[in-house]
Amino acid sequence: MTAPQRPRVPRRALDGVLLLDKPIGLSSNDALIRAKRLYLAKKAGHTGTLDPLATGLLPLCFGEATKFSQDLLEADKTYEATMRLGIRTTTGDAEGEALEIRAVDCDEAAVRAALPRFIGGIVQIPPMYSALKRDGKPLYEYARAGQTVEREGRRVTIHALELIACALPDVTFRVTCSKGTYVRTLAEDIGEALGCGAHLVALRRTGVGALTLEHSITLDALSDATEVERDAWLQPVDALLSTFPQVSLNDDDTRRFLHGQRLKLSSLTIAADALSAARVRVYSAQGRLLGVAKPGDGVLAPERLVVTAES
What is the set of active-site residues? 51
Longest dimension (CA), the chain: 75
Instruction: Give the residue among 187, 186, 188, 163 at the shortest CA–CA distance from 109.
Output: 163
Contact 305, 260 (CB under 8 A): yes
Q: Cβ-count burial of 235 within 10 angstroms (0-12 exposed, 13-18 middle, 19+ buried)?
A: middle
CA–CA dist 201, 195 (Å, integer): 19
SS3 sequence, 31-92?
Answer: HHHHHHHHHCECCEEECCCCCCCCEEEEEEEEHHHHHHHHHHHCCCEEEEEEEEECEEECCC
